[in-house]
Amino acid sequence: MFLGIDIGTSEVKALLLSDDHRIIGSAGTSLSVSRPHPGHSEQNPADWWSATQSALLKLQAAHPADYAAVRAIGLSGQMHGAVLLDAQDRVLRPAILWNDTRCALECTEMMDALPGLTDLAGSLAMPGFTAPKLRWVAKHEPEVFQQVAKVLLPKDYVRLMLTGEYACDMSDASGTLWLDVQKRDWSDALLALTNLNRSHMPRLVEGSAPGGLLKNDVARLLGLHPGIVVAGGAGDNAASAVGMGAVDSGQGFLSLGTSGVLFVVTPSYQPNAASATHAFCHAVPGRWHQMSVMLSAASSLQWVTDLLGAPNAGVVAEKAGALSAAQRAAAPLFLPYLGGERTPHNDANVRGSFHGLSFDTDAARLGYAVIEGVTFGLKDGLAALNAAGSTVNRLSLVGGGARSTFWAQQLATALDVEIVTHGSSAVGGALGAARLGWLATGAAQADVCLSPEVDATYRPDAAEQPLLLERYATFRSLYR
């Protein structure tokens, strides 16, 4: 058995995976986020550790024999969070999370101070990343900053509790803005921007390599064998990719959740930071990945569902899918920038709009416009990845939006790629984390990182493409 632990923002989830690829069970414990000021988002690292213990005890109670057979642990987690420790490993302040926006000014300062930042880091400096958070702390909480001995990411704080070791994998480290992503090593030049050095950083390991051993006292507490390996693990998106078997060049997935993420594996470091994409290390050796991120994806559909008073998003998608080609052609165009946009515009202040409303515009056409607008936003993202050299022929579709067959087909047609969907068990970082634990025992990647069974396959519809391409051209012109 292999144990995957995913430290999310809203939940810690634990999953048991057998060596014949069966998911034996999973358990979760919820977390809350503190927002002490507008734009601030924080959590207490001690809450992650207590939630981890709680989730593991639930798993043990439900599957005692299987739980006792665990031979390795893998970790996955929310990226970018800043856990500040003093020389005695005491937490100096609540962790500043990925969705905290307080350090926008510090991002501008970092870009101005080091024009080569994007070449090293593979991304623009954005408030989500870890490094600008430390620059903010140095400026606004100098008494805290002076005591910082180590900076850890969320899942690596849990690793410290499990193993007593400071370690971080390459994929999660890529989201700090301190890593030379091409060299897979800390960058002295990037660290200097926040007045830190290598002594403040954990050691780096590959996600599929050992990242510590379970301490004896913790093993007794958790009912596990002492000394079992804890893998390097991964940031949440890279872990999800490992769970879906996306570890080789050209493989990828499209996550249609609150936000929209396009993730493509690349054989080398291929940045396109100018279009607000991210080029990160993958969780397996010798692989990188590119990500485009749009901020409002399935959440846009939920927004219009609430606005229309429809019972649920599925009903809106169904009505949109029933429109004729002529009705779709007459539907308004929707810019899905309800909360700003990342890829390709990196524009926090842009907002959404409907273009081309008429007396014929009804609920079905509004719903269609929103679905299509999100599809076009994702097409923008794929274009930004293609511009950096990525090629992809097939994408796994995951997240809440994957439930709509109409949307899946539209994505295949608009993006001109094959789209496949899987059962719900294939989704999430905990499965990928368990697989990374398995790899850390010496298992072969080809045996562990299998693709999940395909539920449905959607191929581009050539008859639909001309209308979508014409509307996409107009959509592109509207951002200006």
Q: Are 81 and 450 in contact (CB under 8 A)?
A: no
**C-alpha separations of 160 from 81, 152, 155, 347, 433 in Å:** 15, 9, 9, 37, 16
80 is in an annotated binding site: yes
Q: Where are the alpha helices (DSSP H) in 259-404?
A: 298-308, 313-321, 325-329, 363-387
Mapping DSSP onto H, E and C, the string for 238-265 reads HHHHHHCCCCCCCCEEEEECCCEEEEEE
Residue 185 is a catalytic residue: no
**Residues 6+ away with beta carbon under 8 Å from 272:** 279, 290, 384, 385, 387, 388
Nearest to 209 by CA among 180, 236, 170: 170
Structure tokens at 321: 């899918």
Q: Name 204's bridge partners.
A: 168
63 is in an annotated binding site: no
Out of 6, 169, 180, 236, the active site residue is 236
DSSP state of 295: S
Q: Are 454 and 420 in contact (CB under 8 A)?
A: yes
**Residues 6+ away with beta carbon under 8 Å from 159:** 75, 165, 167, 211, 212, 230, 233
DSSP letter string over 174-193? TTTT-EETTTTEE-HHHHHT
Strands (E) located in 61-132: 72-77, 83-85, 95-96
**E strand or H helix at 6, and its extent?**
strand 2-7
DSSP letter string over 279-292? EEE-SSTT-EEEEE
**Residues 6+ away with beta carbon under 8 Å from 349:** 340
What are φ and ψ of residue 82, in 5° steps?
Answer: -105, 110
Q: Name 214's bridge partners.
A: none
Return d(Cα 248, Cα 461) in angstroms, integer: 27
User: DSSP 3-state assignment of 312?
Assistant: coil
Within the chain, how many helices (H) and strands (E) appear?
19, 24
Nearest to 56 by CA among 5, 1, 22: 5
* Binding site listing for substrate: 79-80
Residues forming the active site: 236
Annotated binding site: 79-80
